[in-house]
Amino acid sequence: MTRDLDPRRQQLRDLIDQRSLRRGDFKLASGQASGFFFDMKQTVLHPRGARLCGELLIEALTAACGARPRYVGGLETGAIPVMSAVVLACAYEGEDAPPIDGFFVRKQAKGTGTNVLIDGIVADDGPIAVLEDVTTTGGSALRAVEALRGAGHRVAVVATIVDRLAGAADALREHELELVSLLDRDDFAA
């Protein structure tokens, strides 16, 4: 049984159900096998999906951090469209809205150009939030957090569009981080 969702979260849930939820046999990034898969790029790269994700994540992150995040991003490539949705939602709020800049963490430094591991963060002047499209064990988020902490940044929170309820919240808590999710696996129960 799914929980009652506010109208925008319900719209996002329905869009994910239509565009992103796949049933079958899948191997997840965590190495786990699953009978369902959230192909979230199909939702986040859709105009309505991007807008809903961006707006809802700004609201959820502001509540979780106690202040609006200053930077949002995560591990390439999954977090990049999610980060872009948040940055664009911020832009649509108008020029008077406090800025939210995006960043992404490379899986490894390119070895060319500036040879950076983290692209986008220019200062430590506000809350930093790590984003994911779908969270299972939290491994991808933790890789991004470790890179950020290694560069001297303080991560305030990790946020995801869908939490698969497979241990990510506990894993992140061990690293003194809260997981904020817009939806979870149970919102898609048959």
Whether this prediction's pTM lies above 0.75 is answered by: yes
Over residues 19-54, the pLDDT tens digits come to: 999 999 998 887 888 889 999 999 999 999 999 999
Domain-located, residue 180:
yes
Q: Does the residue 1 lie in any domain?
A: no
**Is 94 a domain residue?**
yes
CA distances from 31 to 85, 114, 116, 139 (A): 27, 32, 28, 10
Provide the residue range defining the domain that includes 52: 7-188
Residue with the larger pLDDT of the pair 151 and 111: 151
Task: Look at residue 190 and tell me whether its pLDDT is greater than 80.
Answer: no
* 2 assigned to some structural domain: no
Q: Please state the domain count of the chain.
A: 1
CB 128 within 8 A of CB 121: yes
* β-strand pairing of 128-135 with 155-163: parallel
Share of the chain above pLDDT 70, in %: 95
Q: Is residue 43 part of a domain?
A: yes
Cβ contact 101:69 at 8 Å: no
Query: CA 61 to CA 89: how far, in whole Å?
Result: 13
Mean pLDDT for the chain overall: 91
Model pLDDT, residue 135: 95
Structure tokens at 93: 């709020």
In a domain, 32, yes or no: yes
Question: What is the domain-level CATH number for residue 46?
Answer: 3.40.50.2020
Q: What is the mean pLDDT of residues 128-140?
A: 95
Q: Give Cα separations from 185 to 7, 17, 28, 104 (angstroms).
A: 18, 11, 14, 26
In the predicted model, what is the mean pLDDT of residues 63-74?
94
